[in-house]
Amino acid sequence: MSDGHGIELTELEKDALTEVVNIGVSRAAISLRKMIGEHVLLSVPSLEVLGRERAAALLVQQGGDQLVAVKQSFSGAFSGGALLIFPQARSLELARAVTGPEMTNDEVVEIEQEALAETGNVILNNCLATMANMLKRPLTMSIPHIVKGDGTNLLAQAGDDQDDGDAGLVLFLYISFSVRERDLQGYIAMMMNMSSLLALKELLGAFIAETMAEDF
């Protein structure tokens, strides 16, 4: 999927990254389940190296163009942005789910933004921290921010603190999840620039070597 920029993940590295992301997201899903008390279904993570516009188009294709996201940037051996994304129309329902049945409608409306930010904080932190532990490199996470708009808006804001010397190419990780009982659907997306991909490739190499060593 690379446009010939020289950094490509091997099949085994992709496999390892999918595994690391899977475990991170599963941990996050357990947290979401605890917060709303309903079963959370996860898709298999998809990862691609592509341009920012294509990544934005992918988000719109999956979730429409009226999206709301909780965004956190992370930095360390590899850096980027992580987003928990929902259709705007469902964000109040998510807030209602995490605040519990004892709150009135007005109270939920009042706390909606904060509830989303904290939910994003828990989910994204769980996911990123688990990945950091597995890859054995600490990551620093920013305070969560709420961003609204279509895919382009969200991703532009997600990448605003990164150097753009890579012609806009990013490693884009994407997982959808749903809560059937509440008709909720959302996405966790992660975006890293090409210099981070290089660092990540090295860490994945070490992770693979260690996994192999344990096997024999």
Partner 1 sequence: MSVNVLVVDDSKLARINAGKALRTLKPEWNKVEAGSAAEAIEILGHETIDVALIDFNMADRDGLSLAAELRQLHPAMPIAIITANIQDEIIARAREINASFVAKPLTAEGLQGFLSGAALRLRSAG
Where along the sequence are the contacts to partner 1 (CB under 8 A)?
A: 27, 31, 34-35, 98-100, 111, 114-115, 117-119, 121-123, 125-126, 128-130, 132-133, 138-139, 141, 143
In terms of DSSP bridges, do strands 41-42 and 139-141 run parallel, antiparallel, or are they unpaired? unpaired
98 vs 204, beta carbon nearer partner 1: 98
CB of 163 to partner 1, least distance (A): 25
9 vs 25, beta carbon nearer partner 1: 25
CB of 118 to partner 1, least distance (A): 4
86 vs 172, beta carbon nearer partner 1: 86
Residues 8 and 49: beta-carbon distance below 8 Å: yes
Q: Which of 64, 208, 88 is nearest to 148 (CA)?
A: 88
117 vs 197, beta carbon nearer partner 1: 117
Q: Which of 98, 133, 117 is nearest to 23 (CA)?
A: 133
CB of 61 to partner 1, least distance (A): 29
9 vs 79, beta carbon nearer partner 1: 79
CB of 129 to partner 1, least distance (A): 4
Residues 164 and 44: beta-carbon distance below 8 Å: no
Residues 139 and 126: beta-carbon distance below 8 Å: no
CB of 181 to partner 1, least distance (A): 18
How does 95-111 read in b/e, with b if 16+ C-beta sit within 10 Å? bbbbbeeeeeeeebeeb
Q: Which of 88, 37, 63 is nearest to 177 (CA)?
A: 63
